Structure 1
Amino acid sequence: MRLNSYRPETHPPKSPNPLPSPLPQLEAVLRCVQDILERGPDERIIVFSTWRDVLRLLEHAFGRNAVPHAHPQTRKALAPAFAAFQVGPGAGAGSATPRVLLLLVKQGGNGLNLTAAQHVILVEPLRSPGLEAQAVGRVDRVGQLRETHVYRFVMNDTIEQNLHRLNCARGLTSQATSSSEPKHLGLR
């Protein structure tokens, strides 16, 4: 598993419809998703957030920028969204097949197996390292044939950065997503 350092300042905006300027973290997530999807048709991403409103903003941005995604917002919508996401491009899937799945952290539990994805994006640091490990574990598990990449977004000079530093200092950051050297992954 690889923890990736995503530096938004090295990736100029590609989207014709960026998010409003007060949302640099979400703009960075959008750019990261676009960069990953450009690598090839087999790339699949799960985006986790603690906040429903954050996922709604990302859903809006993905829709405006033609990013094929699914955002199940009810229990009934979960199973069809997961099934559509798991369909691979070689299985007759069209361009409408979601390549990005937007999930609340609490939706990502209960033995869910999403090995079609190989990228996990954590929009903000999680208070509980156990929740982070569980989110990453939806992708990085038995049956996963590709290397799992985890992207963390931490805004500099915010409570997020303080929480991230505290978790690293206490050794609470999940071994599954931590590197030997803590990296500053936020915007500058």
Structure 2
Amino acid sequence: MEELPDKVEMIRHVELSGPQRDLYETIRISMQKKVREHVKQLGLNRSHIIILDALLKLRQICCDPRLLKIPAAQKKHAESAKLELLMTSLTELLEEGRRILLFSQFTEMLGLIEKELDQKKIRYVKLTGQTKDRKTPVQQFQQGEVPLFLISLKAGGTGLNLTAADTVIHYDPWWNPAVENQATDRAHRIGQNKTVFVYKLVAKGTVEEKILEMQRNKHALMEGLFSEAETSKLKMTDKDLQSLFDPLE
């Protein structure tokens, strides 16, 4: 059996600052209060949706405040530390001749990244759930016509062969490491002859870091929390819940 080349995984931390940090803390405090009240009234297992909504908002702020559909986030808080890190990293990696797959759970985030790429005149292809012709972008990337492939995690995390890539960037962490690994394996698979570098961008001290910790230590808890079945039993203690809403240091 053909042996796969090495896979090198790295976490790139980014620190929220300024208005983005302020927004994170404001939403964190208000959602923590809301979740506490809900849990007190209905219990943990019947608070599934409100907890998910709170976590979604915090995860969106980590990616880019503009994902949060409130006027303040669109204007005052529009800068994203993570997007800045991504664009700096992409410029450096592309100058090195890297071929890159960039995954995000949020198709809207991919749209914001596209705008930045267009400004910098960086060529790319994209695949999301709305992409009707999946074959063409795959061919363009595999044949070396473009160096960067933007992919939504749900639409392109499985079933694609993208061995032309030697670099994978996960813009936002997902609760289930198996899903991330499957996405990485679009590049790290039979036919790959180069070392594959995997970068995970994580906002320091935020819910994203908590997700990574729980990926490692409390997989069953995360599975219950992020299961799409509303009746899923939450294997979560009050301490676990509160840790998701820890303040930024």
CA RMSD of aligned residues (A): 2.2
TM-score scaled by length of structure 2: 0.57
- Quote the Cα distance in structure 1 between the aligned partners of 2:158 and 2:182: 9
2:204 to 153, 156, 181: 156
1:69 to 117, 124, 131: 124
Deviation at 1:21, TM superposition (A): 6.1
What CA deviation, in whole Å up to 9, does each residue of 1:39-93 have, x standing for no partner?
Answer: 12xx2100000001110011111111121111234332321111111113xxxxx
Return closer, same or farther for 1:111/1:71 CA change in 2, 3 Å cut-off.
Answer: closer
Structure-to-structure mapping, 1:133-144, within 5 angstroms? 133-144=181-192
Structure-to-structure mapping, 1:87-98, within 5 angstroms? 87-88=143-144, 97-98=145-146
- Quote the Cα distance in structure 2 between the aligned partners of 1:152 and 1:127: 13
What's 1:179 paired with? none
1:4 to 10, 13, 31: 10
Q: Report the 3-state secondary structure (helix = DSSP H, G, I; strand = E; otherwise coil) of the residue aligned with 1:112.
A: coil
TM-score scaled by length of structure 1: 0.74
Higher helix share: 2
Deviation at 1:5, TM superposition (A): 4.3
What CA deviation, in whole Å up to 9, does each residue of 1:146-172 have, x standing for no partner?
Answer: 000000011012211111122123479
What's 2:95 paired with? 38
Larger Rg: 2
Unaligned runs of 5+ in 2: 1-6, 16-76, 221-248
- Quote the Cα distance in structure 1 between the aligned partners of 2:108 and 2:123: 19
What's 2:112 paired with? 57
- Quote the Cα distance in structure 2 between the aligned partners of 1:167 and 1:72: 26
In the alignment, is residue 115 of structure 1 matched against residue 163 of structure 2?
yes
What's 1:28 paired with? 85
What's 1:84 paired with? 140
Kindly provide the amino acid, as one letter, of the partner of residue 39 in structure 1.
E
Unaligned runs of 5+ in 1: 10-19, 89-96, 173-187
Q: Percent identity?
A: 29
